[in-house]
Amino acid sequence: MYLMQSGAVLLLGVIVAVTQDEDDERKKQREFEREIDKALAEFRKTYSGKDFERADAMKKLSGMKHEKVVQEVAKFATTDTDIVREVAIGVLAELNHPKSAEALAAAFKVNLTNKKILEALLKAMEKMQWDVLILGSTALVDDFVKDATTEKSTMIWTLMQTMKKVRAIVALEPMIKLLKKTEEMAKANPAEGNVKFKEENILVLKGLSGQNFTTHKDWESWYKQASAQLQQNAIIVHWCEKSWAHWEKLATEKRKCPHHQDEKKKSTAKELPCMYKPK
């Protein structure tokens, strides 16, 4: 009888402790929500002010990991002055949320003639590791294929260097499409600059794939056959809803996010695949 009573008391103590932990967690969340709302209210006061005031106020939001902040800042990635847009891109890259990536992907298309903003977007793309953002950058390739100018060549060169660093499987297709154009340019005018451009394009493809083809037709043929296998064997970069952190694992692995794996309570946070990298 005594043992039964002791067990009941122990169980009751555990329940009380768990309930207290949950209450504390909810309290912290409410306090955080109030802090976010207050920060956003302060930021909105700068809407009618000067652009540098808006930019300075926006920088203060960069460490606040909340979807409300992402949604607020995302509005300014495609509107406002260059000063504000550039800061918005930096803040979204720092927050590195799925909606950050979506907003910046859309920003490529509306900033095709703005070198400064495009450079900021490519810098964010390198840092963030999202396939959707890399797909957004293909607007640069499409625009260059349509009308290849010297000014656009500079940004395409920067894009190729970024693709080298990012090393995403999804970059292969636009780089193969670009190679068709750079081949045409080198053939029509075999000046040193055009030949170098084509050779750099091939180097990017080799770095992404480990293959050693020299013409866009060979690259196209290989990619059609290999694309599915590349995805299956990929290293997958994940984004964790709880930690907002990135981490990598193979498609066959079942590991959970390492950034909060020591927590006692099992996390129900979503873990989104955000980039597929060649193994």
The pairing of beta strand 246-250 with beta strand 235-240: antiparallel
> Per the domain annotation, does 185 fall within a domain?
no
Are the beta carbons of 71 and 39 closer than 8 angstroms? no
> Confidence class of residue 131 from pLDDT cuts 50, 70 and 90?
very high
Q: How many CB atoms lie within 10 A of CB 208?
A: 22
Which spans in 45-130 are helix H?
51-59, 67-74, 82-95, 98-110, 115-128
Q: How many CB atoms lie within 10 A of CB 206?
A: 15
Residue 53: its pLDDT value, please? 93
Please report which helix (H) or strand (E) contains residue 203, including its range: helix 192-209
Alpha-carbon distances, residue 119 vs 39, 41, 138, 182 (angstroms) = 29, 30, 14, 21
> Per the domain annotation, does 64 fall within a domain?
no
**Which residue is it, tokens 């902040």?**
69
> Per the domain annotation, does 203 fall within a domain?
no
- Count structural domains, the chain: 1
Give the domain extent around 243: 233-279
Alpha-carbon distances, residue 105 vs 71, 101, 137, 222, 233 (angstroms) = 14, 6, 7, 27, 26
pLDDT at 156 over 90: yes
pLDDT at 145 over 80: yes
Residue 206 pairs with which residues in a beta bridge? none
Q: What does the alpha-carbon distance between residue 272 and residue 38 come to, in Å, rounded to a whole number? A: 29
Global pTM? Answer: 0.86
> Per the domain annotation, does 149 fall within a domain?
no
Residue 4: its pLDDT value, please? 47
- pLDDT over 90 percentage in the chain: 71
> Per the domain annotation, does 250 fall within a domain?
yes
> Per the domain annotation, does 242 fall within a domain?
yes
pLDDT at 18 over 80: no
CA dihedral 187, 153, 219, 167 (to 10 degrees): 160
Q: What does the alpha-carbon distance between residue 182 and residue 225 come to, in Å, rounded to a whole number? A: 23
Local structure of 276: helix, strand or coil: strand
pLDDT at 13 over 60: no
- Each residue's pLDDT tens digit, 178-231: 999 999 999 999 988 899 999 999 999 999 999 999 999 999 999 999 999 998
Q: What does the alpha-carbon distance between residue 216 and residue 140 come to, in Å, rounded to a whole number? A: 18
- Each residue's pLDDT tens digit, 250-272: 878 887 888 766 555 566 678 89
> Per the domain annotation, does 269 fall within a domain?
yes
Residue 63: its pLDDT value, please? 86
Residue 48: its pLDDT value, please? 85
Residue 47: its pLDDT value, please? 87
> Per the domain annotation, does 255 fall within a domain?
yes
